[in-house]
Amino acid sequence: MPRPLPPSGNLFAMDSAKSEMRQFRGIGASAGIAIGQVRIAERRRVTVTEYPVAAESIPGELSRFAKAIDRAKAELFALKEQLAVTHGPEHLCVIDAHLMLLDDTMLVGETTEYIERLGINAEGALKRTLNRFKSFFDGVDDDYLRERGGDVETVIERVLRSMVGEKQEPITAIDGKVIVVAHELSPADILQIDKSKVIAFVTDLGGKTSHSAILARAFEIPAVVGLERFTAEVSDGETVIIDGASGVVIVNPDQEAFRDYLQAKQRYEYVERELLKLRDLPAETVDGQRMRLKGNVEFLEEVASINRHGGEGIGLYRTEMLFLNRATMPDEEEQFLAYAAIVREMAPHPVTIRTLDIGGDKCLPDFDLFDEMNPALGVRAIRLSLRNPAAFKMQLRAILRASALGQVKIFFPMVSGVAEVRAAKALLEEAKSELRGVVPFDEELAVGIMIEIPSAVIIADLLAGEVDFFSVGTNDLIQYTLAIDRTNEHLSELYEPLHPAVLRSLKLVVEAAHKAGIDACICGEMAGEPEYLPVLLGLGFDELSMNAVSIPRVKNILRRCTMAEAQQVAQKVLTFATAAEADTYLKGEIAAHFSDSFD
Ligand code: PEP
Ligand code: MG
């Protein structure tokens, strides 16, 4: 496991003499242990009533709405200026996304229409628009996009607040070191908070992929999200322990829990410090077998953490982030600037850029989307890009242009067969010919695909002849192989990376890649679990890409394995009929050989 666990014992047992100790479990969004006092950041919803207005008052309501939008924009511009001074330019895209929402045609158009057609006040009309947005985002079958609904809500709340004349207390004024607890924290909130005073975040809402969770990881601040009603369960000043890896939150810990977690925290920090010493040591086995360890990113600000943890580049840059939360598509120039910034920041190491992995029933401007019964199996990722060749080529040109600035590779998500790869490569060639002689780019740009669909595993030999590398997206490969929705918490115990079908798939993929002389990489979450390292190494993978904090943890195990040991473990783990047996075996091996890295 990547984190030290608190010593076993009755840590979680309630102490009857101190019944006020309460334990909660949310979603671990950013690893690390924090012990401190609660500071509730009140993000109370503004209360709004809808009422009818006379026909002659309608122009007045429209003008109140327009003025409130202008005020909200002015606030955001002021915030942007302030952040540019205090934090530099990197985070400002979050504020830009909110500014763009204020120009969104649905937001403005529908609210105006409600005021005029229903003859109601501006606040009531805007609240109706908010509810429409909410039901749209709630129905979206993708965690990431569903959480984007939170951004819309934050923006609309800002306008509503301005209309009813309420001021929201900024949560910048914080005394001492505290754990900030909020119903929801917008990225703007997180950027405004003085990070030297906040030791952790806890929120009722949100998931692992919410902007705030991603920012918490980028700032390496422990965070637990998705606790549902936690703000109603604690008060300012109460002592709280949070474990940002497991998602455990303990309010008013008894002495024993306090002592155990204090030890676990000290140990975590000690291990983190020790592991960082591995930063400049080669990622290789005892007998000199190299394996590239890289980081996954969504934002530019995560690159520093990859460098700090000794990552040898970016194995997965998820470009979706740039396309979301906005009314219009980023044009080629904007995309180029975003990719170029990451390539420059990561230089001299390589950056593997994934083309847009989005779709289903999500609204993206300029894309033709369908109402789908089953979006996970719908028009998404490469399928969506191929149906929108103009937009796809725009992204390809932007990536190609960035390839002139450093080492860039490109790969396509959710590939199910050879025809898709050929079609994508043909468009890449068209993009190249449009740029040739106009701007520089890397003519030899390596092209890969993600292996995430069982059909791609079965025909890995055919696909290997078409590309320069494979990168296994184990998150989706497990989902599609086992028919387990990766976002469904009720099925989480069936989401089994060590299922024999998954292990056999991994083996097939490496064998096909190596037979064709191309690299086999993994960029799904499995790559960042140190426990799986001997298996993935033994199977022959060339590269693992993961969250930055996991890099030294995985490297630590790698540097203590021999290739022969790893191959033995991989062979053995493939003999089990169930994931549970494989897991028991692997845990035994890990305890026997690397126990000091895991306790
Ligand atoms: C995966 O599916 O494993 C992967 C890395 O892609 P994503 O998590 O972005 O779907
Ligand atoms: Mg995927």
CA of 316 to the centre of ligand 1 (A): 9
Q: How confident is the model at residue 16, as a pLDDT?
A: 38
Average pLDDT, the chain: 86
Q: How confident is the model at residue 383, as a pLDDT?
A: 94
Q: Which atom of ligand 1 is nearest to the CA of 318?
A: 9
Q: Is the pLDDT of residue 332 over 90?
A: yes
Q: How confident is the model at residue 472, as a pLDDT?
A: 98
Helix (H, G, I), strand (E, B) or coil at 327: coil
Q: Distance from first CA to last CA of the chain, Å, rounded? A: 8
Q: How confident is the model at residue 599, as a pLDDT?
A: 41
**Which of 8-17, 204-213, 244-253, 284-293 ranks highest by mean pLDDT?**
284-293
- Choose the weakest-confidence range: 123-132, 149-158, 218-227, 357-366: 357-366
The per-residue pLDDT for range 275-306, each reduced to its tens digit, is: 999 999 999 999 999 999 999 998 887 899 89
**Which of 56-65, 253-262, 462-471 ranks highest by mean pLDDT?**
462-471
Determine the average pLDDT of the residues in 75-85: 78
Ligand 1 atom 8: the closest Cα is on which residue? 475
Ligand 1: which of 141, 142, 475, 495 to mutate, most ligand atoms within 8 Å of CB? Answer: 475
Ligand nearest to the CA of residue 522, numbered in listed order? 1
Ligand 1 atom 6: the closest Cα is on which residue? 473
User: pLDDT confidence of 45, banded at 50, 70, 90?
Assistant: low
pTM comes to 0.71
Q: Is the pLDDT of residue 535 over 90?
A: yes
Helix (H, G, I), strand (E, B) or coil at 33: strand
Sign of CA dihedral 547, 552, 555, 560: negative
DSSP conformation letters of 75-121: HHHHHHHHHHHHH-GGGHHHHHHHHHHTT-HHHHHHHHHHHHHHTB-
| Residue labelled with tokens 């109603």 | 232
Q: How confident is the model at residue 133, as a pLDDT?
A: 81
CA of 387 to the centre of ligand 2 (A): 19
| Residue labelled with tokens 């390539």 | 343
- Contact in structure between 319 and 298 (CB atoms under 8 Å): no
C-alpha–C-alpha distance, residues 225 and 5, integer Å: 20
Neighbours of 14 (CB within 10 A): 13
The helix-helix angle for 122-139 and 143-163 (nearest 10°) equals 170
The encoded tokens of residue 6 equal 């608190």
Q: How confident is the model at residue 488, as a pLDDT?
A: 63
Higher-confidence residue of 171 and 569: namely 569
CA of 357 to the centre of ligand 1 (A): 9
Q: How confident is the model at residue 263, as a pLDDT?
A: 94
* Strands, E assignment, 427-535: 446-451, 469-472, 519-522
The per-residue pLDDT for range 416-457, each reduced to its tens digit, is: 999 999 999 999 999 999 999 999 999 999 999 999 999 999
Q: Is the pLDDT of residue 366 over 60?
A: no
- The amino acid sitting at 259 is R
Q: Is the pLDDT of residue 19 over 90?
A: no
- Choose the weakest-confidence range: 46-50, 102-106, 118-122, 317-321: 46-50
Q: Is the pLDDT of residue 593 over 60?
A: yes
Q: What angle do CA 180, 546, 407 make, to 5 degrees?
A: 120
Helix (H, G, I), strand (E, B) or coil at 532: helix
Q: What angle do CA 351, 219, 401 make, to 5 degrees?
A: 25
Q: Is the pLDDT of residue 362 over 70?
A: no
Residues above pLDDT 90, as percent of the chain:
53
Ligand nearest to the CA of residue 474, numbered in listed order? 1
Is 514 a known active-site residue? no
The helix-helix angle for 550-558 and 255-276 (nearest 10°) equals 70
Pocket lined around ligand 1, Cβ cut-off 6 Å: 316, 318, 357, 452, 473-476, 523-524
Which of 468, 511, 472, 474 lies closest to 496, judged by CA?
474
C-alpha–C-alpha distance, residues 192 and 185, integer Å: 11
Ligand nearest to the CA of residue 545, numbered in listed order? 1
Q: How confident is the model at residue 50, as a pLDDT?
A: 79
Q: Which of 91, 183, 211, 309 is catalytic?
A: 211
User: pLDDT confidence of 597, banded at 50, 70, 90?
Assistant: low
Q: Is the pLDDT of residue 12 over 70?
A: no
Determine the average pLDDT of the residues in 134-153: 74
Determine the average pLDDT of the residues in 11-27: 63
Q: DSSP alpha helices (H): ranges in 295-416?
A: 303-308, 332-346, 381-387, 389-402
Q: How confident is the model at residue 137, as a pLDDT?
A: 78
Is 93 a known active-site residue? no
Q: Is the pLDDT of residue 123 over 80?
A: yes
Higher-confidence residue of 255 and 490: namely 255
User: pLDDT confidence of 100, banded at 50, 70, 90?
Assistant: confident
- Choose the weakest-confidence range: 504-508, 528-532, 567-571: 528-532
Q: Which atom of ligand 1 is nearest to the CA of 475?
A: 3
At a CB cut-off of 8 Å and minimum separation 6, what does 580 contact? none
The per-residue pLDDT for range 387-414, each reduced to its tens digit, is: 999 999 999 999 999 999 999 999 999 9
The per-residue pLDDT for range 173-202, each reduced to its tens digit, is: 566 789 999 887 776 677 667 777 889 999
Looking at residue 141, the DSSP 8-state letter turns out to be S
- Choose the weakest-confidence range: 52-56, 195-199, 211-215, 386-390: 211-215
Q: What angle do CA 518, 498, 585 make, to 5 degrees?
A: 115
Q: What angle do CA 200, 39, 169 make, to 5 degrees?
A: 115
The pocket of ion ligand 2, defined by CB under 5 A, consists of: 452, 473, 476
Give me the phi and psi of 246, to 5 degrees please: -90, -15
Determine the average pLDDT of the residues in 37-52: 75
